[in-house]
Chains A and B, each alone.
Chain A
């Protein structure tokens, strides 16, 4: 509880500094709105439903693309680790594309898919897929061969060895890759939403964009808070349990 107290004091302090700066009129109120006006905007957006619907749109895009990226990336990573020819081809391609900032996919996605959900999906998948492939491949290659040998003496073969030994043994790497894939996907989706309007749904990125167009700084800052909260929550909900699991089992320090 002491920890929670310190955290509360820290953030309350930040808000206070912010409020004091606004009261001292250090900057124009158009550029730096007070915490209260940001709060008011968030309250209104929450009550009239714009915030909720934008969150649903964004999170749905993210979840779909991310899930697809994982579902495809994981087996592909296993395959590149298993077959040298796939490593030399697909693996090399993944390595190259992973190094490409995933925002770079946005123009291409727009040309290919137009201003559709498809473009958004594509961008998120490209953000996720390559890092998951690389991490899985890397994880499998780092599994001590002794595990597979031990499993073989106990009668494990083929697919059983892959699913019950190699995959769990590579888990620390894979979770790392999932986390990185998530970060890439999240960033590139935001870039895409800010960059293009898609009529089938207004996401958080659009709200951010319109905040700028309307010179509504409280909206820009308010949405940034929402994005920040989603990022934190995703970390706590999606990855913390995995990391706790790994920590407990492997005894690795966080």
Chain B
């Protein structure tokens, strides 16, 4: 089978987050919540960046702003130099809950995003959907319904659905948080493989330190109230990474202590294998 044009890799995008601030009016107290305060971040083409931080530090908010689902109060996001003002197919999002549509079967869920993409006929759409379902290892489940899938399978379908329109950027908001450790480990492997094959720019939100170290080229540590970038760590471990490796655990320990001791700040700390 020749790979249709549609399935060839799009060049991954460069993201530029420039001095983004966002505050939410809080209903109970008069004081509004400063979810993000002057957050700036550059993400290179094809880079895998993990946003790490405690609950409520604005990770989801930042991701939603990159997706175009929410607007920043000040500052903004550029994707390949163009301002992000609305959601776009070049930036697909994966949520913590799979957000799959229960009234559609697995194949139709993946086709949902493709039907909205112009320039494809029905059989091409089908080929593309089948290709991605195979990529995530669900070729035998085309006609299963969402409630018939395990948590891990649901997230695989969600991943296929997000990959199907061939976005340049993949935004993932704690996609594996609700899964058991074993399933998660499998998905770490698969995601790294897919990232390598499909060459996406990925922004991955998590509050699991090991997960961040296992997946990210860089781990960005956010501090809460107000949400700010506290520190960043470059992870230079060879891939594919195993979450149980000792090197990885060492990195995770350093980041965990940084996570615990907010307020010490500092320049980005390069961390090679030597540490």
B145 and A153 contacting across the interface, CB-CB below 8 Å:
no
Question: What per-residue 1/0 map shows which CB atoms of A153-178 lie under 8 Å from chain B?
Answer: 11110001000110011010000000
- 9 A/B residue pairs, CB under 8 Å, sorted by A: A147-B99, A153-B93, A155-B88, A155-B116, A164-B112, A249-B103, A251-B146, A251-B147, A251-B148
B165 and A146 contacting across the interface, CB-CB below 8 Å:
no
- Min C-beta distance of A230 to chain B, whole Å: 30
Task: Give chain A residues whose Cβ lies under 8 Å from the Cβ of B116.
Answer: 154-156, 160
Residue of B92, B101, B146, B148 near A153 (CB, 8 A) is B92
B97 and A146 contacting across the interface, CB-CB below 8 Å:
yes
C-alpha gap A153/B99 in the complex (Å): 12
Question: What per-residue 1/0 map shows which CB atoms of B149-170 lie under 8 Å from chain A?
Answer: 0000000000001000100000
A150 CB within 8 Å of chain B: yes
Task: Give chain A residues whose Cβ lies under 8 Å from the Cβ of B91.
Answer: 153
B 47-66 contacts with A by CB, 8 A: none
B189 CB within 8 Å of chain A: no
- Min C-beta distance of A54 to chain B, whole Å: 40
C-alpha gap A106/B140 in the complex (Å): 57
Other than the given A171-B103, A250-B102, A250-B147, 19 more pairs (CB < 8 A) read A146-B95, A147-B101, A149-B93, A149-B95, A153-B68, A153-B69, A153-B87, A154-B112, A154-B116, A155-B116, A155-B117, A165-B101, A168-B101, A169-B101, A169-B103, A249-B103, A249-B145, A251-B102, A251-B145
Task: Give chain A residues whose Cβ lies under 8 Å from the Cβ of B99.
Answer: 146-147, 149-150
Task: Give chain B residues whose Cβ lies under 8 Å from the Cβ of A25.
Answer: none
> What is the interface of chain B, defined by CB distance below 8 A to chain A?
67-69, 87-89, 91-93, 95, 97, 99, 101-103, 112-113, 116-117, 145-148, 161, 165
> What is the interface of chain A, defined by CB distance below 8 A to chain B?
146-147, 149-156, 160, 164-165, 168-169, 171, 248-251
| Chain A-chain B contacts (Cβ-Cβ < 8 Å), number | 60
B102 and A152 contacting across the interface, CB-CB below 8 Å:
no
- Min C-beta distance of B177 to chain A, whole Å: 14
A150 and B145 contacting across the interface, CB-CB below 8 Å:
no
Nearest opposing residue in chain B for A145, CB measure: B99
Residue of A146, A155, A168 near B113 (CB, 8 A) is A155
Q: A153-B67, A154-B116, A155-B113 are in contact. Are A168 and B93 (CB under 8 A)?
A: no
B145 and A155 contacting across the interface, CB-CB below 8 Å:
no
Task: Give chain B residues whose Cβ lies under 8 Å from the Cβ of A153.
Answer: 67-69, 87, 91-93
- Min C-beta distance of B251 to chain A, whole Å: 32
